Structure 1
Amino acid sequence: MLVPLIIACALFMENLDSSVVATSLPAIARDLAVDPISLKLAFTSYLLSIAVFTPISGWCADRYGTRLVFRSAIVVFIAGSILCGLVGTLEGFVTARIVQGLGGAMMVPVGRLVLLRSVARADYVRALSWLTIPGLLGPVMGPPLGGFITTYFDWRYIFWVNVPIGIVGFILVTLFIQDFRDEHVRRLDRKGFLLSGIGLSGFVFGLAASGIGMLDRMQEAVLVGGGAVFILLYIRHALTTANPLIDLRLLKTISFRTAILGGLTFRVGVGALPFLLPLMLQLGFGLTAFQSGMLTFASAAGAMAMKLSAPPILRRFGFRTVLSANALISAGFIAVCALFTPATPGAVIFALLIVGGFFRSLQFTAFNALGFADVDRDKMSQATSLSSVMQQVSVALGVSVAAFVLDAGRDARGGGELALSDFHTAFVVVSIISALSFMLALALPKDAGAEVSGHRIGPKEPAVKPAE
């Protein structure tokens, strides 16, 4: 399990960075002299950059080798982190986050590709669980660390934490990661890259930029509408091209389709949490960034507690039961956040976030493992690209939805500062969206992904008695 632990250095950097930024949003907004809701662009620009460049990560890995691409991605990510600590405007911050996203687009999917090519299919759940444990240390350490630095020093210093971590990861990749290459590299689908890149960029950025005054209504409509048109053009292109950039024909496999579409719906709701919680605790409750971080890291702590529990749970109940029931449970714990008030004891908030993090992490692990259960090894590169793109797009949409609900609530009151009721409404809305994923899970066969989960349907066969 050395390979998963090394690859997890990349996840650690990425998750640490995301959680640190979330905790520091109010301070960053004050320093850049912008509305806190405007910083949804800091989330979505990063996620959008990952979504746009992830589709070519598999091709780059096949063409140039996984080791070279992985190391280069770490360098780009570190460069973006340094830029984040130096900029002084919202536009500069968004640009730096795009550079980080470019590094993340190559780093995490290629790392997962190395993992899936290194282990047997029956070991996917165990390997993915171990892979995410160090990666989850980022969200655990990020909120308290980011809150402490932001409260007692300056938020800019938080981005420098990635530098030593990235150096260690670069060295470990050089020494221990096998350099996988494809002997028969397919041609890069340049037309598909342009169509998907323009489509995703226009659609998601248009949604993220809406309502913050950066663009007028006509420009927002052109971006969203034009992006949607290019996405539709890509879908037609992908279904009529022999080797498309993102092979949508993989969605014909029911296990993969459920993991992608169900995961999309679930993550739209869950992806809003890192944006909503720190803002509510600091703007609505009046807590410092450090106090906020000491509460919000509970979700990641609960997620870590689940990782070793995932394999036996999936083996006992199977993917269909776990994904359908747990979608409703997880959504319920998101909705509970709408009941939090400044009078709610911190211990109660902490406990509920831990339990909610446990169930959300179980859902993520199950979706990830199910998605690759029936995918042929020669399609792994395409499958990991499509999976990663949809994950980033869904989280970006979640942030946009949450910001839209907050802004709508404020506008309904005639403007002014965000109110606690605005956050409560947003939590209810995103929890409903997450809950909808249970319907897709119910359509799975009872034995879906049984080779990966180890779940078996029906009574066990009686043991054969030895001959007397």
Structure 2
Amino acid sequence: MLVPLIIACALFMENLDSSVVATSLPAIAADLGVDPIALKLAFTSYLLSIAVFTPISGWCADRFGTRLVFRGAIVIFTLGSILCGLVGSLEGFVAARIVQGLGGAMMVPVGRLVLLRSVERSDYVRALSWLTIPGLLGPVMGPPLGGFITTYFDWRYIFWVNVPIGIIGFILVSIHIADFRDDDVRRLDRKGFLLSGLGLAGLVFGLAASGIGLLSAEIETALIVGGALFLGAYLHHALTTPDPLIDLRLLKIVSFRTAVLGGLLFRIGIGALPFLLPLMLQIGFGLSAFQSGVLTFASAAGAMAMKFAAPPVLRRYGFRTVLLVNALLSAGFIAVCGLFTPATPGAVVFTMLLVGGFFRSLQFTAFNALGFADVPREKMSQATSFSSVMQQLSVALGVSVAAFVLSLGREARGGGELALGDFHLAFYVVAGISALSMLVALFLPRNAGAEVSGHRRAGLVVTEKEQAPQAVD
């Protein structure tokens, strides 16, 4: 399990950065002189950059080798972190986050590709669980570390934490990671990259920029409409091209389709939490960044605990049952956040976030393992890129939805500062969206992914035919 632990250095750096930024949002907004809601661009620009460039990560790894691409990604991400600590405007901060996103787009998917090519299918769940444990240390350490630095020093220093981690990761990758590459590299779908990149960038950035006064209404509308048109053009291109950049035909595999579409809905709700919680605790409750970080790290601590429990839970109940029941449990713990007030004891807030993180992590692990259960090895590169794009896109949409609901709540009160009720409404909305993921899981066969989870229903022997990739016409 040395390879998963080394790859996890990249996850650690990325997750640490995201959680640190989330805790410091109010301080960053005050220093840059912008509305806290406007900093949704700091989230969405980073995630959008990952979504745009991730589709070519698999091709780059096949063409230039996983070791070279992985090391280059670490260098770019580290340089982007340095730029984040030097900027003095919202526009500069967004640009620096885009650079970070470019590094993240290559770093995490390529690392996961190395892992999936290094282990047998029967070890996927165990390997993915070990992979994410060190990666989850980032979210655990990030909130209190970011809050401490922001409260007692300056928020700009939080980005320098990535520098030594990046150096260590670069050295470990150079020594221990195998240099996988494909002897028969598929042709890069340049047209598909252009269409998908313009479509995602226009649509998501247009939605994220709306309502904060950064762009005129005409430009925002043009971005959204233009992005939708480009995505429509890509849809036609992908279905008529033999080897598209993002192979939509992978959705014919039932397990992959469930993981992608169900995960999209689930992560829209979950992706809003790192944005909403620190803002509510600091703006709505009046806590310091450090006090906020000490509370919000509970979610990541609960997630880490689940990584040890996920394999036996999936083996006992199977993917379908877990995804159905756990979607409601996870959504319920998001909705509970809408009941928090300044009078709620800190121990209660901490406990609810801890338990909620536990169940959300189970859902993430189930989606990740199920998604690759029936994907042929020759399609694994495209599948990892496709999955990563959808994950980042869903989180970006989650932040945009949360910010939109906050804006609606404030406007309904006639404007002014954000109020506690605005946050409560946002939590209820995103919880409802996460719960909708269970509707996708309803169509999953009961024995789906049995080869990966090890689940066997009582009295049922899973045949070779039942374990084969499921597809629809």
Question: Do these two structures clear the TM 0.5 threshold for a shared fold by scoring above it?
Answer: yes
Alignment correspondent of 2:96: 96
CA distance, structure 2, for counterparts of residue 324 and residue 251 of structure 1 = 20
Alignment correspondent of 1:131: 131
CA distance, structure 2, for counterparts of residue 417 and residue 458 of structure 1 = 57
Alignment correspondent of 1:331: 331
Alignment correspondent of 1:362: 362
Alignment correspondent of 2:223: 223
Alignment correspondent of 1:68: 68
Question: Shift of residue 459 of structure 1?
Answer: 2.2
SS in 2 for 1:458: coil
Question: Shift of residue 273 of structure 1?
Answer: 0.1
CA distance, structure 2, for counterparts of residue 280 and residue 15 of structure 1 = 21
Q: Deviations over 1:4-42 (max 9, x none)?
A: 000000000000000000000000000000000000000
Q: Deviations over 1:179-229 (max 9, x none)?
A: 000010011000000000000000000000000001121211111111011
Alignment correspondent of 2:28: 28
SS in 1 for 2:239: helix
CA distance, structure 1, for counterparts of residue 402 and residue 123 of structure 2 = 37
CA distance, structure 1, for counterparts of residue 35 and residue 430 of structure 2 = 22
CA distance, structure 1, for counterparts of residue 324 and residue 385 of structure 2 = 25
Kindly report the root-mean-square deviation, in angstroms, between the aligned alpha carbons of the 2 structures. Answer: 0.6
Q: TM-score under structure 2 normalisation?
A: 0.97
Query: Does 2:453 align with 1:423?
Result: no
Question: Shift of residue 435 of structure 1?
Answer: 0.1
CA distance, structure 2, for counterparts of residue 431 and residue 246 of structure 1 = 29
Q: Give the alignment of 1:244-393 within 5 angstroms.
A: 244-393=244-393
Alignment correspondent of 1:211: 211
Question: Shift of residue 55 of structure 1?
Answer: 0.2
Alignment correspondent of 1:414: 414
Alignment correspondent of 1:16: 16
The unaligned stretches of length 5 or more in structure 2 are: 462-473
**Structure 1: which amino acid aligns with 2:454?**
G
CA distance, structure 2, for counterparts of residue 162 and residue 458 of structure 1 = 49
Alignment correspondent of 2:435: 435
SS in 1 for 2:4: helix
Alignment correspondent of 2:199: 199
CA distance, structure 1, for counterparts of residue 328 and residue 232 of structure 2 = 31
Query: Does 2:396 align with 1:404?
Result: no
CA distance, structure 2, for counterparts of residue 49 and residue 381 of structure 1 = 19
SS in 1 for 2:211: coil
**Structure 2: which amino acid aligns with 1:362?**
L
**Structure 2: which amino acid aligns with 1:154?**
D
CA distance, structure 2, for counterparts of residue 142 and residue 58 of structure 1 = 29
Q: TM-score under structure 1 normalisation?
A: 0.98
Give the fraction of aligned pairs with identical amino acids, expressed as a percent. Answer: 82
Alignment correspondent of 2:58: 58
CA distance, structure 2, for counterparts of residue 131 and residue 27 of structure 1 = 32
The unaligned stretches of length 5 or more in structure 1 are: 462-468
**Structure 2: which amino acid aligns with 1:393?**
L
Question: Shift of residue 121 of structure 1?
Answer: 0.3
Question: Shift of residue 457 of structure 1?
Answer: 2.0
Alignment correspondent of 1:235: 235
**Structure 1: which amino acid aligns with 2:106?**
M
